[in-house]
Amino acid sequence: MCGIIAYTGHRPAVPVIIQGLKSLEYRGYDSAGLCFCHLERLHLFRAAGKLHFLEQKLEGPQVLHATSGIGHTRWATHGLPNETNAHPHLDVHDNLALVHNGIIENYQQLKAMLIGTGCTFRSQTDTEVMVCLISHALNQHSSIRQALAWSLSQVQGSYAFALISRNHEGKVWAARKASPLILGAGTGENFVASDIPAFLPFTRNVVFLEDGELVEMDAGQWTVYDLSNLEPVSKQIQRIDWDVQSAQKGGYKHFMLKEIFEQPQVLTDCLAGRLDFKKYRVNLSELEGLPVPSRLHIMACGTSYHAGLWGRYVLESLARIPVNVEIASEFRYKELVDEPGALYLSISQSGETADTLAGQRMVRERGLPVLGLCNVVGSSVARESDRVLYTQAGPEISVASTKAMCSQLVMLYILALYWAQSRNVITPRDMMASLGTLESLAFTLDTQLPGMQKRAQEICPHYSKAQSFFFLGRGIYYPLALEGALKLKEISYIHAQGYPAGELKHGPIALIEPEVPTFALALDNFLLDKIGSNLMEVRARKGKIIALTNPGVQLEIDEKWEIPQLGDPLNSFLVLPALQLFAYEMAVYLGKDVDQPRNLAKSVTVE
């Protein structure tokens, strides 16, 4: 997830681009850059780190004169977050400059092809491959529009990009596929950007670009083309009446809600390039050459720890690899038992959690291998791991982690399928079924989220006076029960405890009374009868019960919350957002500070 902006108009472009990038910084801030054309030369400015480092570099008279240009704020995916890898990227002749948000999945093949034609590369990014491909295409096509159409037909993956040319000052080309891109249509000026706030101070007229569309614009006009035939497409201008503040949250009231609703996109991004439907395999090129472990030890904190517990179920059942999961703050003080063939998996959204980092340092000091599962590229966990799998959740701003866990679960599932295929313990039929469901998961979640939010809004007021909640689950839903309880605690300040449903009768059931409701994860699987009996025990003590379940399930409960049956473990990808929305709506109903709950910090870098 990166932020891009392009401007062409009557104002000095550089301040407009910088202002736009400031409002896009929430999409990443590993590096920033901009480029403009002046007197038939491209002028490039880039800096590692936050935007103010770029601002410090902007000098020279041409900075004041340019009236068009492109800008980028980066969330690193390919290549370290340094200046060389910062966007914009130029082609070998310094004729074209491009900013990009997304992932070019086949960039290695394209790079090899371009190297064969004599092209050289300056960065490790997939984006530079794209700009060089367009430059290469210009040898065979008479216009940039045609060169773009051909190049994009060669590219697999996701992109939103903007391009300028040394020979066409004042012109901008932009296109999208599976990454956001919006056109801002001003008077005597036009914009494209990853998000509306980037140009909202200048125009409220927007055009939502669709996948497979290309826009060509200058200060006075813009035209959208269908990339498949380069015919113009008629588009509607829509008027935005949000203020800048709410626009940064994409119109959502809180970042947490926005991030919950971003989970379908997170699934799409995490799965990009991973599912091979021709060979019915999953791709994890990051792990090539790494032996399949005989045992996996997972260490993590908080929500990431819950993801690890969930991962144990899929890794053991699919890949048949024994797994231990440890809270990192405990693990770091353990006596490690040497075990040949074991691998240590460190899970962290931020990659900077002190306990997780200390745990993995201890492991590496003993010469044992660590695999990082991490969201922030170049973070300490990533740098200090032998191998890294990046989750593609984009920056998570809300203190309560939501979309990061979704990305961790899907990557753990892919990891389990990958090792299952390496060990030959999954049948082609089961692999086909898993890939098929994974492919449609993002769409299913996207269609379900609005209804889920409505259901959470209906239920929460009836339980808002509760002093304490139980969250119960069995099997793979037990870690999600823990996560449901954590989310409720941290943002609504209602005490909550996650429990394996079968354990309730061994003590905690003493707490059940009408004011202590139970939220049960009673999905329709082989454990349904068991959890049904546990709920009868709760009911017998006059406990109120909300049950998240699948259609057709009969339970004696107070509130039934149905989600479609996706089977195990994929139901989890609907259960998780339901729990997040329940906590969110409860906190909103109780008037709590959802995005910045008391006493908490986003990244816990102290012990």
Active site members: 2, 602
Under the criterion CB under 6 A, does residue 391 sit at the interface with ligand F6R?
Answer: no
Say how far residue 378 (Cα) sits from the centre of its chain: 16
Under the criterion CB under 6 A, does residue 303 sit at the interface with ligand F6R?
Answer: yes
Query: Looking at beta carbons only, is 23 or 304 nearer to ligand F6R?
Result: 304
Binding mask 401-420 for ligand F6R (x = CB under 6 A): x-------------------
Hey, which residues does 561 pair with through a beta bridge?
Answer: 548
CB of 491 to ligand F6R, least distance (A): 8
List of residues 6+ apart from 40 with CB closer than 8 A = 166, 167, 169
Which among 181-189, 284-292, 297-305, 495-503 is the span making contact with ligand F6R, rule CB under 6 A? 297-305
Of 70-129, binders to ligand F6R (CB under 6 A) are none
CB of 485 to ligand F6R, least distance (A): 11
Which among 227-235, 299-307, 465-473, 493-501 is the span making contact with ligand F6R, rule CB under 6 A? 299-307
Whether residue 260 contacts residue 405, with contact meaning beta carbons closer than 8 Å, is answered with: no
Query: Looking at beta carbons only, is 128 or 490 nearer to ligand F6R?
Result: 490
Which amino acid belongs to residue 271? L
Angle between helices 403-422 and 428-463 (to 10 degrees): 160
DSSP secondary structure string for all residues of 7-68? EESSS-HHHHHHHHHHHHGGG--SEEEEEEEETTEEEEEEEESSHHHHHHH--STHHHH--E
Under the criterion CB under 6 A, does residue 448 sit at the interface with ligand F6R?
Answer: no
Binding mask 345-374 for ligand F6R (x = CB under 6 A): ---xxx--x--x------------------
Q: Could you give the CA distance from residue 186 to residue 413 in angstroms, rounded to a whole number?
A: 46
What is the end-to-end Cα distance of the chain in Å, rounded? 30
Query: Looking at beta carbons only, is 48 or 376 nearer to ligand F6R?
Result: 376
Instruction: Compute the Cα dihedral for 141, 145, 146, 150 and give only its sign.
Output: positive
CB of 284 to ligand F6R, least distance (A): 21
3-state secondary structure of 438: helix
Q: Which of 81, 250, 302, 498 is the binder for ligand F6R (CB under 6 A)?
A: 302
By beta carbon distance, the residue nearest ligand F6R is 302
Query: Looking at beta carbons only, is 172 or 486 nearer to ligand F6R?
Result: 486
CB of 269 to ligand F6R, least distance (A): 18
**Residues shown for the chain:** 607
CB of 43 to ligand F6R, least distance (A): 38
Where helices occur in 527-589 by DSSP H, the ranges are 528-540, 572-589
Q: Which of 92, 178, 230, 604 is the binder for ligand F6R (CB under 6 A)?
A: 604
* Maximum separation of any 2 CA atoms in the chain, in Å: 81
CB of 301 to ligand F6R, least distance (A): 4
Q: Could you give the CA distance from residue 125 to residue 120 in angstroms, rounded to a whole number?
A: 13
CB of 44 to ligand F6R, least distance (A): 34
CB of 99 to ligand F6R, least distance (A): 28
Parallel, antiparallel, or unpaired: how do β-strands 213-217 and 172-177 relate? antiparallel
Query: Looking at beta carbons only, is 17 or 581 nearer to ligand F6R?
Result: 581
Hey, which residues does 471 pair with through a beta bridge?
Answer: 498, 519
Under the criterion CB under 6 A, does residue 492 sit at the interface with ligand F6R?
Answer: no
Q: Which of 123, 179, 304, 572 is the binder for ligand F6R (CB under 6 A)?
A: 304
Q: Residues in contact with ligand F6R, total (CB under 6 A)?
A: 15
Which among 64-72, 174-182, 223-231, 300-308 is the span making contact with ligand F6R, rule CB under 6 A? 300-308
Q: Distances in Å between the alpha carbon of 562 and those of 464, 470, 524, 553, 603?
A: 21, 19, 11, 9, 34
Binding mask 256-295 for ligand F6R (x = CB under 6 A): ----------------------------------------
Tokens of residue 351, six digits: 């990659």
Query: Looking at beta carbons only, is 304 or 392 nearer to ligand F6R?
Result: 304
Query: Looking at beta carbons only, is 106 or 603 nearer to ligand F6R?
Result: 603
Which amino acid belongs to residue 475? G
Question: 441-444 — which CB contacts under 8 Å span 24+ positions?
Answer: 441/267, 441/271, 441/410, 441/566, 441/570, 441/573, 442/264, 442/265, 442/267, 442/268, 442/271, 443/264, 444/564, 444/566, 444/574
Parallel, antiparallel, or unpaired: how do β-strands 205-208 and 182-185 relate? antiparallel
CB of 357 to ligand F6R, least distance (A): 9
Q: Which of 400, 417, 538, 575 is the binder for ligand F6R (CB under 6 A)?
A: 400
Q: Could you give the CA distance from residue 9 to residue 509 in angstroms, rounded to a whole number?
A: 68
Under the criterion CB under 6 A, does residue 490 sit at the interface with ligand F6R?
Answer: yes
Picking from 51, 77, 46, the residue whose alpha carbon sits closest to that of residue 377 is 77
Query: Looking at beta carbons only, is 68 or 402 nearer to ligand F6R?
Result: 402
Whether residue 348 contacts residue 307, with contact meaning beta carbons closer than 8 Å, is answered with: no
Whether residue 77 contacts residue 407, with contact meaning beta carbons closer than 8 Å, is answered with: no
Query: Looking at beta carbons only, is 135 or 348 nearer to ligand F6R?
Result: 348
Whether residue 240 contacts residue 204, with contact meaning beta carbons closer than 8 Å, is answered with: yes
User: Left, alpha or beta for 552 (phi > 0: left; psi -120 to 50: alpha)?
Assistant: left
CB of 78 to ligand F6R, least distance (A): 22
Query: Looking at beta carbons only, is 373 or 460 nearer to ligand F6R?
Result: 373
Tokens of residue 304, six digits: 């990431």
Residue ranges binding ligand F6R (CB under 6 A): 301-304, 348-350, 353, 356, 400-401, 486, 490, 603-604
